[in-house]
C-alpha cells in the first residue's frame, strides 16, 4: 500500500501543478498510528502553507474539530507546534518531495514532523536544492524512520516544471479541444476548466499569443474567473502592434504590460492558441495542457504531427484534461 | 472519508465494467477495525468471486500472507468461513451494490460479512433484484451497522449497463481516436486498450460492424489479446454476405456465427466502426466507449454532432478512455 498512498499524494499535487509557481508542486498524505488515512493535501500556492503543513493541519482538524487554526502559514506553524497535544504521535507521512529543513517564507517542515512525533516518513524524491535539502537526514537523526525513492519516477515527473523554471524558462502550451479534436476558441471548455486556466494565467510571467487569436477571437485574456491579476501579454505577430484594433479587450486590461518579443527575465510562459500557433512552437514547448470537452462537432480538427507522453490526467466535471510532454 | 472509500470501490468496479456481463459491475473496499485500508477489489467476471468475496480474500491475505486460498468461488467461500480466525472482527466494508442474500452461483455475501464479524457495511445502491435483495436488512438483523445511499447517484450510473441488459438489450459503441479526433482503424490504440476491447468482445452476445469496415480494414475481429472466444458477428451492409471477399479473416474464425440482422435474443451488443457507422447508429446506443491515444496526426477527424455525458474515465498507459452516455 506504500505506493498507493504515495500515488494519492502525487495526484493531489498534480491538481495544483503550475499554480505553485515559483515553488514546486508537492503532495502529502498522513495516516494515523493505526494506518488510517487522516488527510490528503498539497501545496496550493506560493506563500501559502507547504503540503506537509496543510496535511498536518487537516489531520489535526479531523482528530479535533474544535481547533481554530490561523490561516497564515507562519502563524499556523506556530499554532500547531504549541497545540498538537501529541495527537499525531506515531503517525506516518507520505511526501512527494523531501521535506525542507530551512527557514524560507515558512518554517521547516522536517522539524514539524519530528516535533509532532511522526514515526515514519516516506519520500518520493530527494530535494536537490542545497538550501532546502537534508530533510531526510535531519529526520533520521531525530529517530524518525525515513524511506526515500517511493514512486521516484512519478515524483520526478511532478517536479519537472519546477526544475525547468528554477534554472531557466518553462514553456507551457494550452489548447482546448472538442472530443473529436476541433479547436473552438475560448468557449470550448466548461467554467471549471477555464478557471484552472485563469489560475495559471494569474501566476505566470507572460501569456504568449499569436496576432491571429487576438484579431479573430477579440479576447480579454485575463484571470477574471479567479478574480486575480491578469497576465502580461506577448503578442507574436508579423504585423506591428499599432496595426491592431485598439478596441480588442486584451488591450484595455489595467496595469498590463504588452510585449512583442519575449523578455529575457520571463521564467514561466504560457502559450495559448490554435493549430497554427501550436505547429509553429510545438518543438520549443516543455509541456502541453490539453482540455477536451465531451462533445463531437462538425468542425475541422487541429491537424499536425505531435507525439506526446501523458504525465497526468484529470477531470473537471464533463471536461477532461491532460498534461503532456513531447515524446 | 466515507465518500472517499466508496469512490475507491466505484472506480475499481468501473475498471471491470462490461466484463462482468451478465452480472453487474460491483466494487468493494475493506478497512480493518482501526480504519486502515486492507483491500480494494471488484467483481471481475461472471462465475468468479463477487466483489465482496474478492475483497475479503485480499484483506485476509494481507493480514495472513500464509493463507493458501482456493481459486474457485464456492470453495473460496467455504475456506474463508472455516479459517477466518475472526481476523476481520469489527472491520468495515464499502460496497457499491447491496450484498446479495441468495445462493446463486456463489453463496450469499451478506452472510459472509455477518459471520466474519464486520461492524459496519456502507452500501451505495440497494439491489432492486427481488431474488438477491434484502442484504441490508439481513445484516441489520445480525447486528451489523448498515448505511445505504452513499454516492448513490454514482452507484446507479455504475449499474446502468446491468439494468439495461437484464431487462432487454444494451448497446455499446466502441470508437478509437487519436488525441485530435481522427479514427485510425484498428491500430490507433495501444495493446492494453485493445486487450480491454478484446475482453469485452469475449463476453458480448454480438459484435456489430458495417460492411465498409470489413472491406477496408479486413479485420479478424476476435479476442486474441485475451486468448478468449471470438464474438459472433452481425454485418450490417446494403450488400449481400455473398458479395464479400471470403478471404477476409473475420470469416475464418472457428465456431463463429455470422448474422446480417440482429438476432432478438442478443442482450449485450457492441458496435465497432468509424464516423459513418457512428452517425447512423448513435441515437440507438446506450453507451459509448471512446479510446484516445496521445498523438496528434494529419488525419481528418470524425465529424458529427454528439453531446455526451462522461460516466467514467480511465487510462491504459499513454492511452485514455471514457465511458459515456448520450446527454
> DSSP string of B213-233?
HHHHH-----BGGGTBPPPPE
CA B102 to chain A, closest CA, distance in angstroms equals 33
Q: Do B177 and A182 touch (CB under 8 A)?
A: no
Beta strands, E only, B129-196: 145-147, 170-177
Contact residues, chain A, for B310 at CB < 8 Å: 294, 315, 318, 320
Q: Contact B297/B178 with Cβ under 8 angstroms?
A: yes
Rg over CA atoms, chain B: 22
Strand partners, A145: A120
pLDDT at B190 > cutoff 60: yes
Peptide bond into B110 cis (omega under 30): no
pLDDT at B66 > cutoff 80: yes
Q: Average pLDDT of A101-116? A: 86
Q: Average pLDDT of A78-105? A: 93
The helix/strand/coil state of B204 is coil
pLDDT at A132 > cutoff 90: no
Integer Cα distance of B212 and B197 in angstroms: 20
What is residue B127's predicted lDDT score, i.e. its pLDDT? 86
pLDDT class of A243 with cuts at 50, 70, 90: very high
Grid coordinates of B100:
446479495
Of A131, A196, A201, A125, residue with least CA distance to A166 = A131
Integer Cα distance of A9 and B24 in angstroms: 31
Of B286, B292, B315, B265, residue with least CA distance to B18 = B286
Integer Cα distance of A158 and A25 in angstroms: 7
CA B14 to chain A, closest CA, distance in angstroms equals 16
Contact residues, chain B, for A281 at CB < 8 Å: none
pLDDT class of A128 with cuts at 50, 70, 90: confident
Vertex A194: Cα angle to A285 and A10 (nearest 5): 65
Integer Cα distance of A148 and A93 in angstroms: 12
Q: Contact B206/B232 with Cβ under 8 angstroms?
A: yes
Q: Do B302 and A290 touch (CB under 8 A)?
A: no
Of B37, B180, B296, the CB nearest to A1: B37
Integer Cα distance of B203 and B207 in angstroms: 10
pLDDT at A186 > cutoff 80: no
Strand order in the sheet with A306-316: A258-259, A233-236, A206-210, A268-272, A170-177, A287-292, A319-326, A306-316, B295-296
What is residue B134's predicted lDDT score, i.e. its pLDDT? 87
Q: Do A327 and B294 touch (CB under 8 A)?
A: yes
Q: pLDDT for A133-185, tens place per residue?
A: 789 999 999 999 999 999 999 999 999 999 999 999 999 999 999 999 998 76
pLDDT at B186 > cutoff 60: no
Model pTM? Answer: 0.95
pLDDT class of A4 with cuts at 50, 70, 90: very high
Which listed residue (B44, B48, B52, B272) is catalytic?
B52
Work out the mean pLDDT of chain A and round it to a whole number: 94
Q: Average pLDDT of B64-92? A: 96
Q: pLDDT for B126-144, tens place per residue?
A: 987 766 678 999 999 999 9
Grid coordinates of B285:
446506443
Q: What is the DSSP letter of A99?
A: P
Integer Cα distance of A305 and A61 in angstroms: 50
Q: Do B313 and A313 touch (CB under 8 A)?
A: yes
Name the residue in chain A with its Cα closest to that of B288.
Answer: A294
What is the interface pTM, i.e. ipTM, of the complex? 0.94
Contact residues, chain A, for B182 at CB < 8 Å: 181, 301
Integer Cα distance of A326 and B257 in angstroms: 45
* Side-chain half-sphere exposure of B183, counting CA atoms within 13 A: 19
H or E element that contains B270 = strand B268-272
Integer Cα distance of B175 and B271 in angstroms: 9
Contacts of B99 (CB under 8 A, 6+ apart): B50, B52, B108, B109, B110, B112, B113, B121, B123, B135, B139
Q: Average pLDDT of B196-214? A: 96
What is residue B128's predicted lDDT score, i.e. its pLDDT? 79
Q: Contact B181/B153 with Cβ under 8 angstroms?
A: no
CA A317 to chain B, closest CA, distance in angstroms equals 8
What is residue B260's predicted lDDT score, i.e. its pLDDT? 95
* Residue A215 burial (10 A CB sphere; 0-12, 13-18, 19+): middle
- B276 among known catalytic residues: no
pLDDT at B104 > cutoff 80: no
Contact residues, chain B, for A322 at CB < 8 Å: 294, 320
Integer Cα distance of A16 and B253 in angstroms: 50
| Cβ neighbours of A185 (radius 10 Å) | 11
Amino acid at each position: 500500500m506504500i505506493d498507493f498512498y504515495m500515488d494519492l499524494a502525487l495526484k493531489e499535487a498534480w491538481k495544483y501543478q503550475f499554480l505553485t509557481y515559483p515553488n514546486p508542486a508537492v503532495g502529502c498524505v498522513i495516516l494515523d498510528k493505526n494506518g488510517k488515512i487522516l488527510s490528503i493535501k498539497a501545496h496550493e500556492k506560493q506563500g501559502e502553507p507547504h503540503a506537509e503543513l496543510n496535511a498536518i493541519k487537516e489531520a489535526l482538524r479531523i482528530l479535533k474539530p474544535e481547533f481554530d487554526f490561523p490561516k497564515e502559514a507562519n502563524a499556523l506553524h506556530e499554532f500547531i507546534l504549541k497545540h498538537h497535544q501529541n495527537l499525531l504521535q506515531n503517525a506516518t507521512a507520505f511526501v512527494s518531495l523531501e521535506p525542507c529543513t530551512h527557514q524560507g517564507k515558512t518554517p521547516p517542515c522536517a522539524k514539524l514532523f519530528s516535533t509532532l512525533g511522526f514515526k515514519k516518513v516516506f519520500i518520493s524524491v530527494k530535494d536537490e536544492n542545497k538550501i532546502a535539502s537534508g530533510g531526510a537526514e535531519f529526520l533520521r537523526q531525530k529517530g524518525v524512520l525515513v524511506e526515500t525513492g517511493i514512486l521516484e519516477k512519478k515524483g520526478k515527473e511532478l517536479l519537472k516544471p519546477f526544475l525547468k523554471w528554477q534554472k531557466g524558462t518553462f514553456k507551457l502550451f494550452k489548447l482546448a479541444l472538442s472530443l473529436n479534436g476541433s479547436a473552438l476558441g475560448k468557449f470550448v471548455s466548461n467554467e471549471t476548466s477555464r478557471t484552472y486556466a485563469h489560475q495559471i494565467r494569474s501566476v505566470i510571467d507572460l501569456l504568449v499569443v499569436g496576432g491571429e487569436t487576438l484579431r479573430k477571437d477579440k479576447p480579454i485574456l485575463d484571470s477574471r474567473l479567479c478574480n486575480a491579476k491578469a497576465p502580461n501579454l506577448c503578442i507574436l505577430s508579423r504585423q506591428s502592434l499599432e496595426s491592431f484594433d485598439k478596441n480588442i479587450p486584451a488591450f484595455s486590461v489595467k496595469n498590463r504590460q504588452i510585449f512583442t518579443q519575449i523578455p529575457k527575465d520571463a521564467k514561466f510562459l504560457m502559450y495559448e492558441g490554435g493549430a497554427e500557433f501550436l505547429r509553429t512552437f510545438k518543438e520549443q514547448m516543455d509541456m502541453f495542457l490539453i482540455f477536451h470537452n465531451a462533445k463531437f462537432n462538425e468542425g475541422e480538427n487541429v491537424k499536425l504531427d505531435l507525439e506526446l507522453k501523458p504525465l497526468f490526467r484529470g477531470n473537471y466535471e464533463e471536461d477532461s484534461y491532460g498534461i503532456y510532454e513531447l515524446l
